[in-house]
Every structure is written in C-alpha cells, then in structure tokens.
Amino acid sequence: MTSSALNSPAAALADGVIAVVKRDCPTCELVAPVLAELERRGVALTVYTQDDPAFPEGVTRLLHDEDLAVSYHHAIETVPTLLRVEAGQESARTEGWSRPAWEQLTGIDGLGTGLPEHRPGCGSLSVDPAIADQLRVRFEGGILHARRLELASLEDEMEALFEREWTDGLPVVPPTEARVLRMLEGTHRSPDEIVAVVPPQLVPCTVEKVAINAVMAGCKPEYLPVVLAAVEAACTDTFNIHGLLCTTYFSGPLLIVNGPLADCIGMASGHNVLGQGNRANSTIGRALQLVIRNVGGGRPGRHGIDRSAFGAPSKLGWAISENEADLPAGWVPMSVEAGYPVGTDTVALFAGHGPSAVVDQLSRRAEDLIEAFVRKVSANIDLFFARRIDNMLLVIGPEHGRVFAEDGWDKARIRAELNERVFAQIGKPAPAPRWDGPAIVYAGGDAGLFSALIEGWVSGPTGSQMICHPIRTSA
Amino acid sequence: MTVVLDPTNEQRPVTRQRSERAAVIDGMTVGLLDISKPRGNVFLDRLQELLEERGFGVKRYAKPTFTKPAPADLRHQISQECNLVIEALAD
C-alpha cells in the first residue's frame, strides 16, 4: 500500500479508541456488550461497522464503513480490531477479543465479565478475496497512469487484444487494473519510476508499463523484479537490444537467472530447462519481449523494425536459471564468475538462439569429453563473426559436468582448454580469459550425457556483449 | 465490460515532411555515411570519385557500428558540414 493511500483524508480517525466490527462475526457479537460498557465507563469510543449500520447497540459514535475506506486504509485484516489513536496517529492495536489486551489498550480493568479470556476474530470484509481486488482498484488505481481502454461488452477479451496488435501471436492475459496493481505488489519500486529507455523508438519506460506487459505475459508478481532487471540490462549500450532486434540474424535475448531468488520464484534449472513447461521460465523472457514490442515499438514483420530473416522459436521469450544447488565440487555460479558475490540475485542476458546439442555418451575422462565441445565450437567459429568465442554460451548438463568434475576440471579449466584447442586449430592466439568467453551455465536434467551450445549473434563492441545485471528485491 | 491498461508507449509519431528538393545542387557538399557494413566503403569510394568528377565537395563519415544508431554528435556534425547525405546500407 502506498503512503498516499494511508494518508487519505477520508480515512482520518478521531482520537480515542476505535473499534472495527461486523455483525456477521460471532466474536463481534460476543464483544458487543463490552463496546457499550467501554462507552459507559467514559472511553472516547468510535465504532466502525462494516455490514449492519445498526450494529452494535448502545454505542453513540457508530459509523458505517460502507465503502470499507476506513478498513482498507488502516489495513484492517480481522474483526474486531481495536485501535488507540492519539493526535491522529495509531498508537496501539489489538485483533480479536483478548481481555488482557483490551484492558491494556483501553486502560480499563475488569472488562467483559463472564466472557472467555480469548476468542479469535473473523476476516475483515476489506480482505475478502471476492472484493479485495475491487477495493485496491478503487483506492489505489489512481497511482496508475496508463490509458484505460474499455472493451465493449460484445468484444471477446482475448480477441480484442490480438486485434490491437499487443501480442506476440499467443494469447495474453488482459491487463486489468486489478491484475496490474497485484503485479506491482511484486516490487518496492514506484510505478512511475523510469526503468530504461527502450529501443527502437527510445521510449522512457516506467515500472507500471513493465508491470502491464508482465501481466500480459502471464507472470506472477514475484517474477517482476527479474523482469525489471532484464529490461534494464537489455536496454544498455553493452547488450544493445536495438541491434539485436533489427538484425536479419536469428537471435533474441536469453535470460539466465542466478541467486536464491530463482528457486524462490520456482524457476526451472533441471529437466527440459531450455524448453516449455515452467511458468517462470516461459513468462519472464516473454515479458521482456512484450516490453520491447509494445513500449519500444519493436515488431517483426513487413512493417516492423524486427528484420530477422528466420527468427527462432525462443524469440517468444527464453529464460532459465542455473542449478546452483547441485554444482559439482569446486564449480561456481556464472554470476560469481561475472564478478558478483555468492548469493547475489542476478539476471544475465545473452543474444542467442538454439539450442544445439553437444552429444558425447562415451567419454569418461575430461580430456576426451572436451573434444566433443571443441568440435561443436569449432564448427561455429566462422569468418563472418570474426572468429570469436564470446558469441557462444555453453549449458553443461549434470552427466557431462560429473565427468569433468571427477577429473578436477572446473568451469575455468573447461573454458581455458576449449579456447586453447579451438584457436590452435584455426591458427589464432586464444583470446584473454573472460567469464563470457564462452559463458558456462550448469543446468539440465540429471539423466542424459548431453550439453547444449547456444549460438549467438555478433559479439564484442560492434554487436551485443553478454551482461550480468543485479536484481533489486528491496527498496 | 472489461477495462484494460494500454501496454504501449501511447505515442503517435508525427509524420515528418520531406525537405524541399533543391532546384540546383551544383556546388553543394555531399556527406557519404558508411554504416560500417563490410564493403560499404567500396561503394562509397566509387560514389566519391563520381561526385568529385562533377565538382561536388565530398566529406566521409562512418558510424562506429552498423548495429547501433548513429551517435548524436555524428548526426549533428553531418548536418552542420553537408547539404546532402548519402548512406551506404548494404553488405
């Protein structure tokens, strides 16, 4: 909830003791005589009733919180709730019926003779799932600045969004105010904060616009920090989403998430990691692509600026996480190789497409297995891309990882051996070691002696350089 | 009735009018912009020869990379130094 909502004049409370109740709550019925007793014993009492305007009896200052504004703005979750208000500020609160707590809050002893000592309350109407979203729209919808579009009653919602060319060809979730407000609960950032200037039209993009597109992509609110970080990273000169979008080449952004957040939001790093089936993986990358499409104006096709001759299925959206929990002994997460402390939440972006399979089911020594990778990488070191190796990314699966690790090879050793052998073949000196030359991610199912090569677009300063970017999860 | 929020940038780009064509271009300075695609320079070298034969002043420019928009400083420099500009796009 925003501070402006809390400060709403409609929700100002009188000094004294405030009770919020509803008749449809047995505990409120139970404490109704206690409220009357408080008034008789001289307490400055105001009672807000959520349902029956005549409940409870015997109270002079009885107000009907018909639109639930008071309940909403003061975050009432349970009825009865008792508040003490001094100089307009809440100074104490207790929920349900508890004789000691009520006595302490009101300063009156011997309350509710004959009642049990404790009785839990009921849910406040303002948090009833059936209306909580409507309340949020009514009281907080003003923080949203995007243009509202009323779909006609005869319009099919899904079809209406296709017709407005807001989708990537698959259905999108209609971005209603309630859904967008719920999405914004996933970040501490203000809806009007500028996240990035999005190519190709170089439009300043707010947290709100990202949230709208994240709703459409099918994201949950807890994915939003990753999407925001991905938009920031994509729109840097280093990653160069402008060039990636406009090229005739195949590639699109691949997101790799590191750190504890990936597990918390349920990202897949195991079976079918590069494929379909996991909501976070499928929708986070899609949200980034919808931002580029809808906010940046980057659309494919005859009249669009996305000029890819073939494209790739992964351009719908592609996000994975690294299997940090099961890393072989001595291996470090990709984010650590990129220079971040262990445990940092990051999203890395790579301009790629694919995947292409690295198959070797026979080798049992690192020395032999590396040759399968050398063959695959050598086939991709071609003249057009200036014989660079940082336009490739390796996803090493657990069974291949085990073969390397048993011989004591970690990611750095694999990378060094690969560079030395590949560049010796083409008669060039191996480039200086870098975390992204090539980047190595540990992921994939635990059965199958395979790995994956993700081919990429032009790398280096003339094209897209891989970027590893921190995810902001706190204010 | 469903109300949805607009996911786009909500901008309507203005339609720019083309500059008026000059009746006479003799004596004008022509900028040749290489976007740094391979062999763009071959095409521009030949254009420069042909333009200079006809008495035009020619200035050469290059974008650092074809994958990114031309830097603002470069665009400004071209607009200050030239009357016309020809851009070599292709490989």
Q: Are residues A59 and A168 in the same domain?
A: no
Asked if residues A283 and A218 have their Cβ atoms less than 8 Å apart, the reply is: yes
Give the CATH number, domain containing residue A96.
3.40.30.10
Write down the H helix ranges in A164-302. Answer: 177-184, 207-217, 224-234, 241-246, 260-264, 279-294
B9: contact with A, CB 8 A cutoff: yes
Q: Pairing mode, if any, of strands A346-359 and A467-470? A: antiparallel
Which residue among B5, B13, B67 places its CB closest to the CB of A243?
B67
Tally of domains in chain A: 2
Last residue of a domain, one of A85, A117, A141: A141
Residues of B in contact with A460 (CB under 8 A): none
Q: Which tens digit of pLDDT belongs to each residue from B33-72? A: 999 888 899 999 999 999 999 999 999 999 999 889 899 9
3-state class (DSSP) for residue B59: strand
Q: Are residues A110 and A172 in the same domain?
A: no
Residues of B in contact with A296 (CB under 8 A): 9
Rounded-to-integer distance, Cα B13 and Cα A44, Å = 61
Helix axes A224-234, A279-294, angle to 10 degrees: 50
Tell me how many residue pairs between chain A and chain B have CB atoms under 8 A apart: 91
Predicted local distance difference test score (pLDDT) of residue A138: 92
Predicted local distance difference test score (pLDDT) of residue A4: 42
pLDDT (tens digit, 0 to 9) for every residue of chain A, 475 residues total? 444 444 455 678 999 999 999 999 999 999 999 999 999 999 999 999 999 999 999 999 999 999 999 999 999 999 999 999 999 999 999 999 999 999 999 999 999 999 999 999 999 999 999 999 899 999 988 899 999 999 998 999 999 999 999 999 999 999 999 999 999 999 999 999 999 999 999 999 999 999 999 999 999 999 999 999 999 999 999 999 999 999 999 999 999 999 999 999 999 999 999 999 999 999 999 999 999 999 999 999 878 899 999 999 999 999 999 999 999 999 999 999 999 999 999 999 999 998 999 999 999 999 999 999 999 999 888 756 777 888 999 999 999 999 999 999 999 999 999 999 999 998 888 899 999 999 999 999 999 999 999 999 999 888 999 999 999 998 6
Predicted local distance difference test score (pLDDT) of residue A301: 82
Rounded-to-integer distance, Cα A292 and Cα A303, Å = 16
Residue A344: inside a domain: yes
B68: contact with A, CB 8 A cutoff: yes
Nearest-neighbour CA in chain B from A148: distance (Å): 5
Q: Are residues A438 and A409 in the same domain?
A: yes
Task: Compare B90 and A358 and report the one with higher pLDDT.
Answer: A358
B91: contact with A, CB 8 A cutoff: no
Give the Cβ contact number of residue A446 at 10 Å. 13
Task: Compare B12 and A110 and report the one with higher pLDDT.
Answer: A110
Write down the H helix ranges in A21-155. Answer: 26-40, 69-73, 99-106, 129-140
Rounded-to-integer distance, Cα B61 and Cα B84, Å = 13
Under DSSP, the state recorded for B81 is H
Q: Are residues A318 and A375 in the same domain?
A: yes
Last residue of a domain, one of A110, A141, A172: A141
B89: contact with A, CB 8 A cutoff: no
- Find the closest chain B residue to A240 by CA distance: B68
Residue A152: inside a domain: no
Residue A440: inside a domain: yes
Q: Are residues A187 and A303 in the same domain?
A: yes
Nearest-neighbour CA in chain A from B65: distance (Å): 5
B14: contact with A, CB 8 A cutoff: no
Residues of B in contact with A292 (CB under 8 A): none
Rounded-to-integer distance, Cα A9 and Cα A26, Å = 31
Q: Are residues A73 and A221 in the same domain?
A: no
Predicted local distance difference test score (pLDDT) of residue B8: 96
Residue A150: inside a domain: no
B17: contact with A, CB 8 A cutoff: no
Which residue among B2, B10, B36 places its CB closest to the CB of A147?
B10
Averaged pLDDT of chain B: 91
Q: Are residues A135 and A247 in the same domain?
A: no
Helix axes A177-184, A207-217, angle to 10 degrees: 110
Which has the closest alpha carbon to A348: A358, A356, A337, A357?
A337
Q: Are residues A404 and A268 in the same domain?
A: yes
Strand partners, A401: none
- Find the closest chain A residue to B68 by CA distance: A243
Q: Look at A174 and B1 and tell me if their CB atoms are within 8 Å.
A: no
3-state class (DSSP) for residue A433: coil
Q: Which residues of A touch B (CB under 8 A)?
A: 144, 146-153, 157, 161, 166, 174-177, 180, 198, 201, 203, 205, 208-209, 212-213, 216, 237, 240, 242-244, 246-247, 290, 294-297, 458, 461-464
* Full-model pTM: 0.88
Angle at A1 between CA A469 and CA A46, to 5 degrees: 165
The type of residue at A386 is A
Q: Pairing mode, if any, of strands B84-88 and B29-34? A: parallel
Q: Are residues A54 and A189 in the same domain?
A: no
Q: Look at A242 and B36 and tell me if their CB atoms are within 8 Å.
A: no
Q: Are residues A111 and A215 in the same domain?
A: no
Nearest-neighbour CA in chain B from A115: distance (Å): 49
Residue A149: inside a domain: no
Nearest-neighbour CA in chain A from B53: distance (Å): 34
Q: Are residues A106 and A171 in the same domain?
A: no
Token pair 């003791």: residue: A17
Predicted local distance difference test score (pLDDT) of residue A265: 98
Residues of B in contact with A216 (CB under 8 A): 7
Q: Are residues A161 and A128 in the same domain?
A: no
Residue A147: inside a domain: no
Domain ranges of chain B: 29-88
Give the range of the structural domain holding residue A275, as residue numbers without chain letter: 157-470
